[in-house]
Chain A
Amino acid sequence: MKKIYLHEDAIISPLGFTTTENIQAISAKKSALKLHPNSRFENNNFYAGIIDNDLLSQAFLKIGDASKYTKLEQMMILAVDGVLKNRKQTNFQQLQLIVSTTKGNIDILQSNSNFPENRVLLSELANTVKEFFGFKKKPIVISNACISGGLALAVARRFINSDRFEEAIVVGGDLVSEFVVSGFNSFQAISNEPCKPFSANRNGISLGEAAAAVFVSKNREVSKNVSLFADSSANDANHISGPSRTGEGLYKCLSIALNEARLTPSQIDYLSAHGTGTIFNDSMEAVAFTRSGLQEVPINSYKGYYGHTLGAASLLESILVKHSLLKNTLFSSKNFEVAEGENPLNIIKDHKDSNLTYAIKTSSGFGGCNLAMVFKKEEDE
């Protein structure tokens, strides 16, 4: 199967409304995670990465009427707009929109919503984005828990290879809604501090919201670019909410993806992990990475910067991997403090320059799903 190239991209997050602003914030080690009021928690607050509604509306007003769109729709439309306005030419007849999300406009189920209930349907969300830009093709919608965004990239690659379409915009987004906050809190999964992925003293996730979008095609277009050239997903077949203790599905998809890439673990320059900050998830990943021979590879999680952005996470992080490769920079795994004794990993403790060619992005989610993708920086010799 051939590679696809990642072209223009955009990130809408509390750290900024362009990819450049987001990378600058990460370079300055800023975090989106702040205290927000919520009576569900001790001290009546919790750490989360939430986009300011007024800033979002102000940004949206430059391209449309913010009152007609939900918060998530505004975020996704701004992300797609960010991609399109940096692109010289786009064929709106041929372009395929792929939308990934876990919960979409779930906040509409709250009794005080101004929007009709059918807007909660994910196909309506995708259609709203499509109609805003006047794309012709029916959007493809993927909802596969926390691997949704990355899986959407893999789906784009497979469809481009079978000539279903030539180019696509993949967009992913999710909100920090009371729906998910209450749910993760019922699992006692939310950290009372900003999340600390892979740190031995971690105690849960922080939630975050973001939308991310990227234009993909089989054409390289520019001399220096990043491609997705191998991918695999695999189910643990073990438990729907608890990660496999042996990291079965993640190990399996890493083996398949490395095999497809024809690479050995020692050739991988950088591993962008899922790293949510829960005890069980991060231990499972450490087991799978060690089984795969990737324990020496520099590894980070971006959750300390953004929190867990659910269906957007693995797309957002793939875009960060792309820029990491292009800049030859390894970004630190924010909030990592104490190394684990068992299955220790090579966690990136501080930003550093490094020659990078190959990177892996992994992701795992409820339902036992796992995903591994291999990226390559392509440049003329």
Chain B
Amino acid sequence: MNKQYYISNFTSIKKGAVYNAKNKIFESELELNEIDLFLKEAYNFLALSYPKFFKMDRLSKLGILASEVLLKNESLESDTAIILSNSTSSLNTDKTHQESINQIVSPSIFVYTLPNIVLGEISIKYQLQSENAFFISDTFDAELIADYTNDLLAFEKAKNAVCGWIDLKNAEYDVFLCLISEEGDVPFTQKNLEQLYYFENE
């Protein structure tokens, strides 16, 4: 018989606020387009001590902040898969790199011109050595993400999973990350994943 998996915890970051399981845990008073300052405020609020954070691009910073909310009280096995998705890939950093092409090109910017780098950053911070996949879709495709995450768990490719949506359009960010494991109250289904995502978007 297949094991039952649950959405054990979830977090979202959008419009200057950080949520953990429907509770707003932090709200910035900055203008919404002040994304870099907001990321720093959220870092301070979460009392992160991770200097590498300041070398990251915005997408990876968002990923680390959301993972910290999601995982800081967990002791996860390294067998935890990460399955994320967005609509813009790494376009924000792509444009920064593109602007530098005729001047001085920076390897530390170029390395962030791939959407899956955030999977690498989360894997390093939380020592997760498992399956990774980054999907692109125009909007959050709960069915695709739920199906693929379920497959990885059902086929025993991973014991737990972090899955969700991490999108950045110019200075507008929309992050929704879930921890999927055998513990919890909300069954891991496409419908529940969708409802939790849209709850924050009402």
**Chain A positions near chain B (C-beta within 8 angstroms):** 1, 102-104, 106, 109-110, 120-123, 126, 138, 140-145, 151, 155, 158-159, 161-162, 164, 178-179, 182-187, 232-241, 248-249, 252, 256, 365-369
Known contacts A179-B101, A367-B119: A240-B131 contact under CB 8 Å: no
From B27-35, B122-130, B177-185, give the one contacting chain A: B122-130
Instruction: Give the most central of B101, B132, B134, B152: most A CB within 10 Å.
Output: B132
Other A-B pairs beyond A142-B135, A144-B132, 13, CB < 8 Å: A1-B155, A104-B89, A140-B144, A142-B134, A183-B97, A183-B110, A183-B113, A234-B130, A235-B82, A236-B120, A237-B124, A237-B129, A369-B120
Known contacts A159-B147, A183-B97: A367-B117 contact under CB 8 Å: yes
Question: Does the CB pair B114–A233 fall under 8 Å?
Answer: no
Question: Does the CB pair B132–A143 fall under 8 Å?
Answer: no
Q: Which of B87-139 contact A (CB under 8 A)?
A: 87-89, 91, 94-95, 97-98, 101, 105-107, 110-111, 113-117, 119-121, 123-124, 127-138
Known contacts A103-B113, A186-B107: A121-B151 contact under CB 8 Å: no
Question: Does the CB pair B107–A143 fall under 8 Å?
Answer: no
B78 at the interface (CB under 8 A from A): yes
Q: In the complex the two chains form, what is the Cα distance from A168 to B143 in whole Å? A: 18
Question: Does the CB pair A109–B95 fall under 8 Å?
Answer: yes
Known contacts A140-B144, A141-B136, A240-B124: A178-B101 contact under CB 8 Å: yes
Q: How many A-B residue pairs have CB under 8 A?
A: 151
Question: Does the CB pair B129–A185 fall under 8 Å?
Answer: no
Q: In the complex the two chains form, what is the Cα distance from A184 to B87 in whole Å? A: 25
CB distance from B158 to the nearest CB of A (A): 10
Question: Does the CB pair B101–A123 fall under 8 Å?
Answer: no
B154 at the interface (CB under 8 A from A): yes
CB distance from B146 to the nearest CB of A (A): 11
B40 at the interface (CB under 8 A from A): no
B160 at the interface (CB under 8 A from A): no
Known contacts A144-B132, A161-B151, A186-B107: A237-B123 contact under CB 8 Å: yes
CB distance from B174 to the nearest CB of A (A): 16
Question: Does the CB pair A367–B120 fall under 8 Å?
Answer: yes
B residues near A162, Cβ cutoff 8 Å? 147, 150-151, 154
B45 at the interface (CB under 8 A from A): no
Question: Does the CB pair B136–A123 fall under 8 Å?
Answer: yes
A residues near B106, Cβ cutoff 8 Å? 186
Question: Does the CB pair B127–A237 fall under 8 Å?
Answer: yes
- For the residues of B in contact with A, the DSSP-based class is mixed
A residues near B91, Cβ cutoff 8 Å? 120-121
Q: How large is the interface on B (under 10, 10 to 19, 20 to 34, 35 or more residues)?
A: 35 or more
Q: In the complex the two chains form, what is the Cα distance from A256 to B111 in whole Å? A: 28
B residues near A120, Cβ cutoff 8 Å? 91, 94
B24 at the interface (CB under 8 A from A): no
Q: In the complex the two chains form, what is the Cα distance from A183 to B133 in whole Å? A: 23
B residues near A256, Cβ cutoff 8 Å? 157
CB distance from A163 to the nearest CB of B (A): 10
Question: Does the CB pair B89–A240 fall under 8 Å?
Answer: no
Question: Does the CB pair B131–A233 fall under 8 Å?
Answer: yes
Who on chain A is nearest to B88 by CB? A121
Selected from A140, A236, A239, A367, the residue in CB contact (under 8 A) with B129 is A236
Q: In the complex the two chains form, what is the Cα distance from A329 to B78 in whole Å? A: 39
Known contacts A144-B132, A233-B131, A237-B78: A179-B116 contact under CB 8 Å: no
CB distance from B140 to the nearest CB of A (A): 12
Selected from A142, A161, A182, A365, the residue in CB contact (under 8 A) with B105 is A182
Q: In the complex the two chains form, what is the Cα distance from A237 to B122 in whole Å? A: 8
